[in-house]
C-alpha cells in the first residue's frame, strides 16, 4: 500500500518489491481504490497494465467515483482492455464506505458455509471467521477450536 509520493518512489525503486508486486498481479486478484491519475503513470502501466500477457484467467477491479457517465464508460472500456473491470460506488464520495461494507459482505456470503448468517452487522462475525479459517486451512495451517477466533 502506497499512501504518498515518497512511498511510491520507495516502492518503484526497490527491485524486490517490484518483482513481488508483479508476481502477485499474475496470481491474485487486485482491487484498485483511489488510484486516480496513477493510471497515467508509466511505472504503474509497466508494472500492472502491460506486465501480464494472458489476463483471461485473472480478475482485477477498480472502484471509482462516477462523476460523468460518458467519461466513466470510456474509462471502463479502456481498463477492460488491460483486464481491469471498472465499477462505480456511486456519484459522491459519501457512498464509498457503505459500498465497501456491502462488497465485503457479498464476498463473505459467496465464500462462507454460513452465508445465511452474513449481513452488514456480522461483517466481522462468525461467517468471516469461517472464511479466514478456510483460507488458513487452504494454506496448510491447522486451525483448532481455540484458535478459531481471529482478531482484526
Same domain, 57 and 100: no
Are 127 and 117 within 8 A, CB to CB? Answer: yes
Structural domain boundaries, residue 110 = 94-152
For 83-136, the pLDDT digits (tens) are 788 888 888 889 988 888 888 777 777 655 555 554 444 444 444 565 666 667
| Secondary structure (3-state) at 88 | strand
pLDDT at position 77 over 50: yes
pLDDT tens digit string along 20-72? Answer: 887 887 788 888 887 666 666 776 776 676 665 555 566 788 888 888 888 88
- Same domain for 63 and 4, yes or no, is yes
Query: Using the 8-state DSSP alphabet, how is residue 149 labeled?
Result: -
Q: Say what the pLDDT of residue 139 is.
A: 72
Which residues does 110 contact at the CB level (< 8 Å), separation at least 6? none
Are 79 and 138 found together in one domain? no
Report whether 84 contacts 32 (CB < 8 A): yes
Looking at the fold, whether 110 and 85 belong to one and the same domain comes out as: no
Read out DSSP for 9-72?
HHHHT-HHHHHHHHHHHHHS--EEES-GGGGG-HHHIIIIISS-S--TT--EEEEEE---HHHH
Residue 94 has a pLDDT of: 92
**Which pLDDT does position 152 carry in this prediction?**
42
Structure pTM? 0.57
Amino acid at each position: 500500500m502506497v499512501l504518498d509520493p515518497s512511498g511510491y518512489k520507495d516502492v518503484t525503486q526497490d527491485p524486490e518489491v517490484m518483482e513481488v508486486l508483479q508476481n502477485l498481479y499474475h496470481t491474485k486478484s487486485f482491487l484498485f481504490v483511489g488510484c486516480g491519475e496513477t493510471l497515467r503513470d508509466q511505472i504503474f502501466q509497466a508494472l500492472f497494465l502491460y506486465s501480464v500477457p494472458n489476463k483471461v484467467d485473472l480478475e482485477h477491479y477498480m472502484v471509482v467515483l462516477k462523476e460523468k457517465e460518458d467519461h466513466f464508460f470510456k474509462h471502463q472500456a479502456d481498463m477492460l482492455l488491460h483486464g481491469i473491470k471498472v465499477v462505480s460506488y456511486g456519484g459522491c464520495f459519501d457512498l464509498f464506505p457503505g459500498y465497501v461494507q456491502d462488497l465485503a459482505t457479498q464476498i463473505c456470503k459467496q465464500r462462507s458455509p454460513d452465508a445465511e448468517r452474513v449481513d452488514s452487522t456480522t461483517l466481522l462475525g462468525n461467517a468471516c471467521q469461517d472464511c479466514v479459517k478456510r483460507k488458513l486451512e487452504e494454506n496448510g495451517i491447522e486451525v483448532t477450536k481455540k484458535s478459531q477466533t481471529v482478531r482484526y
